Structure 1
């Protein structure tokens, strides 16, 4: 491995230690990037939040590809959720939790990662956990950015205001993510494209119901569960 050739001392570290170190390094990079954007570029706090939102979600790919044990992901989820809950009382994560409204979105995000890791690692199908988290990370993250910057056509649903531009972004990005992941494990078939389309539309619908940040729970879990169930019905039974 390239890292081992550059840093021979890493040979003494266990494979699990290297895996955890890789995830920790990625998260540190995301936090430093968000801090740099906020400190030097003076960006909109919402942009900083979405940098963390999207970047953190990509950790699920490292967990999948590096075969990190479920207990590590679940423990990290519990720790992150605990810190997030404390931050609502104490100014631990003021930049991340300042959304201008009462929201438990960051907490729900942590919880959804733990649930999906526990569920799909147990089934030895971690790609569904990755699908759910990435739909939330990239779909919701880009939808919020596009909607706030370019959303001209607004609509209200359940007391919340959304834009057609943002919702369209959510649908397109979700479809793209689902297609890529399912193509990598199921191959190019009509089932892959149908499942991706249905999941994208449902995820978009769930994202519109986002009071108190509950979409950070319903979107990833709903997307992963739906993709899994449809795959069992359409792919396995065919």
Structure 2
């Protein structure tokens, strides 16, 4: 997939990352302070919004060190925010979770791995499944979930789980469609990835899904895609 603005000044492209993330966090804080938006909904604004930064990194052809550095800095800031009220709109949901920290770590890891391999779209798949799949699953589950179930102490809804499954498959297929075009492999890779991502999200606790879902999704998408690519030449 051709990148956008790849020939533009590197520092201009890098500057878009803090500007974008800062606008998302500011929006969340304004919602938290001046509206009656529920804390969990505020978190989902940040969760989904900041995850999209991986698309910027891909389209703007940012080097791996930008994502790695951003992940480290974000992880440090979130750890501090658990002690000091610097991000009340993000961490005021009334439950113990290191999810925001794990989210930052996952962005750093997938960037370090897949940008280095010159296969950034697998990192994009992992982060977007976490951002949109998990984010929309929580929103749908809380608003429309009428059929709950419990697994390993986690209470979920079948409506939310189905949302996670569908969105995960759609993300994998759409990303690979932009890279490989309309091939049969494009539409097959998402099946096992969506199933695994949904299963991992269902059993994770303490916000650990923000790490395990992106890494397992990106890694499995890479392995299945490479396997199918090899099989097509046999």
Q: TM-score range by the shorter chain?
A: over 0.9
- Structure 1, residues 100-119: CA drift from partner, whole Å, max 9, x if none? 22211111000100000000
Q: TM-score, normalised by structure 1?
A: 0.91
2:197 is equivalent to residue 172 of structure 1: no
Determine if contact 2:29/2:89 at 8 Å carries over to the other structure. no
Residue from 12, 15, 30 that aligns with 1:21: 15
Q: Output the CA distance in 2 between the equivalents of 1:30 and 1:86.
A: 19
Q: Output the CA distance in 2 between the equivalents of 1:37 and 1:187.
A: 40
Residue from 35, 45, 55 that aligns with 1:41: 35
Q: Report 1:78-157 matches (<5 A).
A: 78-157=72-151
Q: Output the CA distance in 2 between the equivalents of 1:165 and 1:112.
A: 26
Match of 2:3 in 1: none
Match of 2:56 in 1: 62
Q: Output the CA distance in 1 between the equivalents of 2:34 and 2:98.
A: 28
Q: Output the CA distance in 2 between the equivalents of 1:113 and 1:73.
A: 7
Gaps of 5+ in 2: 1-7
Deviates more, 1:83-92 or 1:178-187: 83-92
Q: Output the CA distance in 1 between the equivalents of 2:59 and 2:20.
A: 14
Q: Output the CA distance in 2 between the equivalents of 1:137 and 1:19.
A: 22
Gaps of 5+ in 1: 1-13
Give the drift of 1:212: 0.7
**1:94 is paired with a residue of what secondary structure?**
coil
Give the drift of 1:93: 2.0
Give the drift of 1:99: 2.9
Structure 1 residues 98 and 40, CA gap change in structure 2 (3 angstroms)? closer
Structure 1 residues 99 and 39, CA gap change in structure 2 (3 angstroms)? closer
Aligned length: 225
Give the drift of 1:180: 0.5
Give the drift of 1:172: 0.8
Higher helix share: 1
**1:67 is paired with a residue of what secondary structure?**
coil
Match of 1:228 in 2: 222
- Structure 1, residues 155-181: CA drift from partner, whole Å, max 9, x if none? 000011000011111111111111100
Determine if contact 2:172/2:190 at 8 Å carries over to the other structure. yes
- Structure 1, residues 50-74: CA drift from partner, whole Å, max 9, x if none? 0010010000001011111111110
Q: TM-score, normalised by structure 2?
A: 0.92
